[in-house]
Structure 1
Amino acid sequence: MSSSFAATFSLDPSKFPYTKQCIATKRNARVSLQNQLFFDLVLAEVARIPESSRLYPPRNTTDLRNLHEAIEGCAVDLLKKQCCIYYILRDWDTHTEYAEEQLIPQTYCALMDSYWYLDNQKNKEALNSLLTPGLTPNFATKIMSTFERAGDHSMLVTYVQTMQNPLDTEEKTRAYLKALMRVDVSRALFFTRTTTVAPRQSLFNEVVDHAKTTKEGVDTLARFPFDVSEGQWAFENLSRTPGPGMEALIVRLTMMGDTSAVIKLREKHGGGKPDLNNALKESLHSAEAKLLQRS
């Protein structure tokens, strides 16, 4: 056994941390994490304890004892049991002493710290803990989606690039791309060239659609070095409707000397049929002026 119940938890009612407010906060956190805390996953997939979400948070000492017994009685090795107890003791703020007494390796403490921070919606602290050297967290997809839903895009990018976990599913790829395009459109466009787990054109258009909504993104679209396929996809996307995207396209086409395409765009979207020089001059100056206004 990792430890007895009485030796692990204080039986003083005044020290019981799971107040009504605490329980409500943890249940709300579970909802925000798609109805599954990271600790629920640890109990279910690592400790193999069924119906784990019903055990935590405990409402009273009896519930706590049942949780402790479920962990002690599960068919996993001692270290995994100790890690589960360590997580619970974070709520009691006695986790450090427990880790020292049980000689839990630092990387395992950091792993459980990470999950506790994520469950308590402390993503900055979670990221710092996740980046502990030698740490290999489980549940990479859920970690990424947690950062994504919280709008912590730079954290998601940092996590993926530092951990170098393979983006081996379309879900992971799109989650990373969604964050990366909000950090740097150019890097996101280059990234679409490197992945094979999702249709490249679909990923490309996702970045372009986002880029059209920001000043920096529109400027990037006007000047990014598209390859042949990307150039065709960009033209199809940006030429659909007037707006910032089309302004970027006009600047691109004019700088490339594709005068006929500029004229056709103007005619298609109500620009009339002025002579070639006036069309180019008006198109370029108007588009560049609007781009500059967004700078």
Structure 2
Amino acid sequence: MVEADESYDDIFPQSLFPFSRDRVSFITSQRNKLDGYLFLDLLATDIAGISDVQDFYPPADQQSLKDLYFRISNSNSDILKKHCLLYYILQDYNADRANDYAKNVLLPDSHKRLIDGIISLDRFEFKTAMTNLTHPGVRLQYTEKVLSTLLNHAENGALYVRMYVTATSPVLDTEHAARLYLQALCQISIASSILFLRTVSPYWRAGLFKILVEYYVGTGSGEHAYELANLALSEDEDELIRQELQQHAGLVAHNVLLVRGLHKRPESNVKPGTSEKSTRWAVFARQLKENPSQAIQL
């Protein structure tokens, strides 16, 4: 394998400096959108111990680029990790040189895909990011940041989040990661949301049920309010939903609570001759579905 610090000039020719004002502005803007940290920043900190990469990248001039290069090459990282970092920088520098570099240093396909995926996340090129990051040979840390980036910045971000979690099976071992995934699932399916809630730590469950209630009440959608009112739950789950609805201001929450308090049989199952309670549930549920923010006529 070629040493990462064999020749700075061979990798970054002095005659070429593509970091224009617009390019620097774009990279800086992306870092700001990502809460002050590119995925590159996290990677450089974790694998090369460069915690102040923001001071060097994007480079203001050749000297800044050279300083960053030698910070990488002189770090205690193994050679493969150095190649990965330099490959990322080269993709911003010149894509053709980056691809040539990957071939010259024999960068493994899985590592190349990983860095290509990280670059695409930093650039908000989400379709390309998913193609690389969901490849079977790729494993990326920073699950919370990946989910947050997809959810907050990608069009149809909730679908991307579900795709990423389904394909890579990351361990959602923090409450924040679980919250992000639930926020995505709420936008897709209440049934999927409940199934996920049943897998999380009991210590997180109350807070996560609050997210579910706030989403399905807060959208103002009659369909969402009806789904929440008609949701089949265990006694413990029903109690958590009831508590959250009681604490939630507004007619939608009040109406959902009222309908949930009656017979939970679906409207389509109500037949002539059934109990008055079931008939009342059907009438109330129809009102909720048609106009969830209007007081139900008792």
**Contact 2:230/2:264 (<8 A) preserved:** no
CA distance in 1 between partners of 2:244 and 2:200 (Å): 21
**Contact 2:264/2:281 (<8 A) preserved:** no
* Counterpart mapping for 1:211-250 below 5 A: 211-212=216-217, 213=219, 214-239=221-246, 243-250=251-258
Give the corresponding residue for 1:38: 39
Residue type at the aligned position of 1:43: A
- Report the TM-score, using the length of structure 2 for normalisation: 0.83
**Contact 1:153/1:180 (<8 A) preserved:** yes
Q: 1:291 aligns with which of 276, 289, 292?
A: 289
Percent identity reads 26
Secondary structure of 1:255's partner?
coil
Give the corresponding residue for 2:167: 162
Residue type at the aligned position of 1:247: N
CA shift, 1:160, in A, is 1.6
Q: 1:97 aligns with which of 95, 100, 113?
A: 100
* Cα RMSD, aligned residues only: 2.5
* Counterpart mapping for 1:5-24 below 5 A: 5-13=8-16, 16-24=17-25
CA distance in 2 between partners of 1:197 and 1:90 (Å): 44
* Counterpart mapping for 1:1-295 below 5 A: 1-2=3-4, 3-13=6-16, 16-91=17-92, 92-93=94-95, 94-150=97-153, 152-196=157-201, 198-212=203-217, 213=219, 214-239=221-246, 243-256=251-264, 284-292=282-290
Secondary structure of 2:227's partner?
helix
CA distance in 2 between partners of 1:125 and 1:78 (Å): 26
CA distance in 1 between partners of 2:264 and 2:107 (Å): 63
- Report the TM-score, using the length of structure 1 for normalisation: 0.83
Give the corresponding residue for 1:260: none
**Contact 2:222/2:288 (<8 A) preserved:** no
CA shift, 1:238, in A, is 3.4
Q: Any gaps of 5 or more consecutive residues in structure 1?
A: 258-276
Q: Any gaps of 5 or more consecutive residues in structure 2?
A: 266-275, 293-298
Residue type at the aligned position of 1:189: I
CA distance in 2 between partners of 1:225 and 1:182 (Å): 19
